[in-house]
Structure 1
Amino acid sequence: MKFSETKPTKTLHLVSLGCTKNLVDSEIMLGKLKEYEITNDSSIADVIIVNTCGFIDSAKEESINTILNLHDERKEESVLVMAGCLTQRYQEELQKELPEIDIFTGVGDYDKIDKLVEEKRSAFTNEVFLLNETNDRVITGSSYHAYIKLSEGCNQVCSFCAIPSFKGKLHSRTLESLIKEVKNLVKNGYKDFSFVSQDSSSYLRDLRIKDGLERLVEEVEKIEGIESARILYLYPSTTTLNLIEKIKNSNVFENYFDMPLQHISSNVLKIMKRGKGVEKLKELMNAMREVPNSFVRTTFIVGHPGESQEDFEELCQFVKEYKFDRANVFSYSDEDGTSAYEMLDKVPQEIIDERAEILGNIISQTTNESLEKEISKESYVYVDGESDEHEYLLSSRKTIWAPEIDGEIYINDNQLLDENQTAQQIKFGQKYKVKITELVGDKLLATVIE
């Protein structure tokens, strides 16, 4: 008697570090390695991939620590892959200093990862990898939401940022390719989308089209089945009042405005090479805030070379007055290959740390005020699943919020009465209308009303 032999399943453990743009690239690699079963246990995985971040010191440190810890725990015959931004930026140094790694690859070979793993070889293609609708992605973390990457690279020359040095100039996807990808995802049940890139408001400018995002909004609105969308990472000098108006009038795009300002002092913005004058910047910010039910998010850098105490105080005052819904503060760190790295007027580290703490406290207060305004309001939310807090609390987020970064709303019941007063189980990945009842810590509590 012959027994049929089943081929052993190969397993894959993937860690995606850094931004959501990295996550899209990680999903491309998962799509190319579909024959592997994904495992959360790195010690049994046949292939381990870390998609690294090389943006700032803390991100670089996290990438190195992550891959060394995975090496310590992995089984002997496994293949360890270091991919992404950090390897692209420091490819020669890392290959010399990390003999533990089996395969090194940068930002141009995500769609070739299956061949690199099979052949156990490193590769650094000196061309930017640009996603298209034929690339097979495995969407992670959600059954209804997907990130869509608009472009790769960046044409800006910000003093503190090294991204253009290893990601290159702006390369936009065609609008046709992008719309095809969204349509394919809608067919597979996805209905909420976040559009991302290094500089989203410059989308299509490399193809001599200045209103790329406005065109995107128009085309996405034509796709049946999309319930909501938002755009992340607008850049001040390429964002227009027309774009804000376009988003305001859209029946698909949320009134979500995410523009990393980095500073508000004209002195520091000039040093940072951030383009827009302060008055123009404030005009844009006020236009965003005037949109009904708008949600405004930003990021700031403190301690940039040349930032005086007066500059910092001006920034603090602006944040207090504007009252952003969400904001992040980063401490300046020297990045080789940037113009700020060569500047002599450095701010001492203890002052940078002190300023980051002060501004962080102000941001915590404005975020809390934004959350308190939600109490007693009715809102639409997506229900993601059980919360980490308690099995009887469901985790959800407002449809206007971006996943994971803008907050979480706990729903304290898992059933809803329909029009016949029959109890219906609340389904994960679906949209519901809720009433916000209270704020506990940094979490809103709500009950489902329809």
Structure 2
Amino acid sequence: MKFTTDKPTKSLHLVSLGCTKNLVDSEIMLGKLKEYEITNDASNADVIIVNTCGFIDSAKEESINTILNLHDERKEESVLVMAGCLSERYKEELQKELPEIDIFTGVGDYDKIDTLVNEKRSAFTDEVFLLNEENDRVITGSSYHAYVKLSEGCNQSCSFCAIPSFKGKLHSRTLESLVKEVKNLVSNGYSDFSFVSQDSSSFLRDLGIKDGLEQLIEEVEKIDGVKTARILYLYPSTTTLSLIDKIADSKKFVNYFDMPLQHITPSMLKIMKRGKGVEQLNELMNHMKSKPNSFVRTTFIAGHPGETQEDFEILCKYLEEFKFDRANVFSYSDEEGTSAASLEEKIPQELIDSRAEALGEIISKTTQESLEKDVGKEFEVYIDGESQEHEYLLSARKTLWAPDIDGEIYINDNELFEENGEQQQLKFGHKYTVKVTELVGDKLLATVIA
């Protein structure tokens, strides 16, 4: 009889809610818990971690419901961990009200999660957690694309946003740290990158450097193996025409411009404390749109306190005329600790929802128009894998688009293409040139031509 001293493998179930910045933090935790086998079966997992979002009411509700549902189905001896933004924002209240949770931790201890799980204790470090090249991440969801976080926290004071209250002031990573991380990811087979933070255009401003993002672009240009890159979340008051030019002139950064505007009238921009006037915003947006093969995405808030019917109508007209490639609209909700929550000119919820719905209808139309422009065109895509729509269709993404949010292109999976005189099968995670044949609903259909 053969005996073994190997310990049985423990299993881990992790749910990452909210934004892509949260996803990076979740990947750090997976890296620290590599001895655990990742499982989709929460009911049999030894450790369950929910990385929560605390941004707006709907996100908070989703976080609480998710963790309570997981508690209901987990096995008795498992460890349930509540981590991230919601946990950080309401740490005292949640620890009193949720005895179901074994471990609470916030936004400063992602790299200590292995210790917290082993010791079964909660921790909230006051210092902000910044990723460095020594942190080992487990990239999820893609074999070729990775998110790279530039900084943590935010120096802006938007009226509606509570993020600085629990994420703190801007803390940028060093340029050297980012370059090392990208090189390391390239060596592990990653070639497409999305750079993210709460305010990406302010990168390095806390260290006295005003053109930090431009310097990053220059450094990434030098890294062999980076095929494509994009920047998410540019802030109006820290984005310059020079930065837009730098992105457009880059051979690796695609002309992807993601700037949440929130509104477009002088009075609302002032109430929202957005730090930029309408003329300057229009100059920035038109400059982005003027770049060849540009893709412009934004976000608006409907029903912020003080928004008049005239403000709303001007916003609707602006949306119709500018024709964003993609946009999102959020219904305003009061957030504790924000200046907007204390304003008196509140708008009835029914009116907020109707305005959001009207904006959403305009956005649906302009998104459809953006997709229609691609019919008959040729461009590069990444093939991600089989589609969920049909077993004979592959799911692809335009190299210009960000993953998961900008759309999906269907490609016939039994297609062969010719390379060096031989017929080749399409490979997942590779880049191909396609020609779009038609638009069905909100999905482009395309064939591979090179």
TM range (shorter): over 0.9
Residue in 1 that maps onto 2:342: 342
Question: Hey, what's the Cα distance between the residues in 2 that align with 1:281 and 1:324?
Answer: 14
Q: Does 1:269 align with 2:269?
A: yes
Provide the C-alpha distance between the structure 2 equivalents of 1:17 and 1:382, rounded to a whole number of angstroms. Answer: 25
Amino acid at match of 2:146: A
**Given that residues 330 and 356 in structure 2 are in contact (C-alpha distance below 8 angstroms), is that contact kept between their aligned partners in structure 1?**
yes
1:216 maps to what in 2?
Answer: 216
Q: SS in structure 1 opposite 2:15?
A: strand
SS class of match (2:165): helix
The CA deviation string for residues 282-303 of structure 1, in whole angstroms up to 9 with x for no partner, is: 0000000000110000000010
Contact 2:417 2:448 in 1 (8 A): no
Matched to 2:41, the amino acid is D
Instruction: List aligned pairs for 1:62-101, cutoff 5 A.
Output: 62-101=62-101
| Structure 1 match to 2:430 | 430
Alignment check: 8 A CA contact 1:394 1:414 kept = no
Distance in 2 of aligned mates of 1:111 and 1:253:
30
Corresponding residue SS for 1:229: strand
Whether the 8 Å contact between 2:196 and 2:232 is mirrored in structure 1 is yes
| Structure 2 residue matching 1:434: 3-state secondary structure | strand
Secondary structure at the aligned position of 2:49 is classed as: strand
Give the Cα separation in 2 of the matches to 1:3 and 1:177. 46
2:286 maps to 286
Distance 1:105 1:3 in 2: 39
Trace 1:350-369 onto structure 2 (pairs within 5 A).
350-369=350-369
Amino acid at match of 1:106: G
Contact 1:248 1:255 in 2 (8 A): yes
State the secondary structure of the residue aligned to 1:432. strand
Distance, in Å, in 1 between the alignment partners of 2:419 and 2:406 is 33
Task: Report SS of the residue matched to 1:82.
Answer: strand
Are the counterparts in 2 of residues 382 and 431 from structure 1 also a CA contact under 8 Å? yes
Per-residue CA deviation, residues 292-316 of structure 1 (Å, 9 max, x unaligned), is 1100000000100000000000000
Aligned to 1:322: 322
- Structure 2: distance between partners of 1:292 and 1:422: 34
Partner of 2:381: 381
Cα distance, 1:124–1:394 mapped onto 2, change above 3 Å: same
Deviations 1:246-290 (A, max 9, x none): 011000000000000000011111000000000000000000000
Deviation at 1:418? 1.5
Aligned length in residues: 450
Counterpart secondary structure, 1:447:
strand
Q: Secondary structure at the match of 1:418?
A: strand
Q: Deviations over 1:154-193 (max 9, x none)?
A: 0000000000000000000000000000000000000000
Question: Is structure 2 residue 121 aligned with structure 1 residue 139?
Answer: no
RMSD (Å) for aligned C-alpha atoms: 0.8
Give, as a single letter, the amino acid of the residue that structure 2 aligns with 1:181.
Answer: E
CA drift at 1:416: 1.9
Matches within 5 A, 1:51-450: 51-419=51-419, 422-450=422-450
SS of the residue corresponding to residue 160 of structure 2 reads: coil
Q: Secondary structure at the match of 1:3?
A: coil
Deviation at 1:424, TM superposition (A): 1.6
Contact 1:416–1:449 at 8 Å: present in 2 too? Answer: no
Deviation at 1:384, TM superposition (A): 0.2
Letter in structure 1 aligned against 2:351 = I
Shift in Å, 1:3: 2.7
Contact 1:150–1:200 at 8 Å: present in 2 too? yes
Check the 8 A contact 1:22/1:51 in 2, yes or no: yes
| CA displacement, residues 350-374 of structure 1 (integer Å, 9 cap, x when unaligned) | 0000000000000000000000000
8 Å CA contact 2:217, 2:246 repeated in 1? yes
- Contact residue 302 and residue 332 of structure 1 kept, 8 A: yes
Aligned pairs for 1:29-44 (under 5 A) are 29-44=29-44
CA distance, structure 1, for counterparts of residue 359 and residue 337 of structure 2: 28
Q: Give, as a single letter, the amino acid of the residue that structure 2 aligns with 1:96.
A: K
Normalised by the length of structure 1, the TM-score is 0.99
Give, as a single letter, the amino acid of the residue that structure 2 aligns with 1:241: L
Task: State TM-score, norm by structure 2.
Answer: 0.99
Retained in 1: the 8 A contact 2:417–2:426?
A: no
CA spacing shift, 1:419–1:145, aligned 2, 3 Å: closer
Q: State whether residues 229 and 252 of structure 2, in contact with CA within 8 Å, keep that contact through their aligned partners in structure 1.
A: yes
| CA–CA distance in structure 1, aligned partners of residues 403 and 207 of structure 2 | 30
Q: Which amino acid aligns with 2:424?
A: Q
Higher mean C-alpha deviation, range 422-431 or range 185-194:
422-431
Equivalent residue letter for 2:285: M
In the alignment, residue 259 of structure 2 is paired with which amino acid? Answer: M
Q: Deviations over 1:203-255 (max 9, x none)?
A: 00000000000000000000001100000000000000000000110000000
Question: 3-state SS of the aligned residue for 1:438?
Answer: strand
Q: Which residues of structure 1 form unaligned runs of 5+?
A: none
Q: Any unmatched runs of 5+ in structure 2?
A: none
Shift of 1:419: 4.3
CA–CA distance in structure 2, aligned partners of residues 114 and 97 of structure 1: 25
1:424 partner amino acid: Q
Q: Distance in 2 between matches of 1:164 and 1:261?
A: 18
Cα-to-partner distance string for 1:114-148 (whole Å, 9 max, x where unaligned) = 00000000000011001111100000000000000
CA drift of 1:412 comes to 1.5
Q: Distance in 2 between matches of 1:419 and 1:430?
A: 14
Contact 1:415–1:423 (CA<8 Å) still a contact in 2?
no
Q: Which amino acid aligns with 2:33?
A: L
**Post-superposition shift, 1:5?**
4.7
Rounded Cα–Cα distance in structure 2 between residues aligned with 1:282 and 1:422: 50
> Structure 2 counterpart of 1:276, which letter?
K
Q: Give 1:423 shift.
A: 3.0
Report the alpha carbon displacement of residue 2 of structure 1 after superposing the two structures with TM: 3.9
Aligned residue identity for 1:156: Q
Counterpart-to-counterpart distance in 2, 1:131 and 1:411 = 37
Q: Counterpart of 1:16 in structure 2: which amino acid?
A: S
Distance 1:364 1:267 in 2: 26
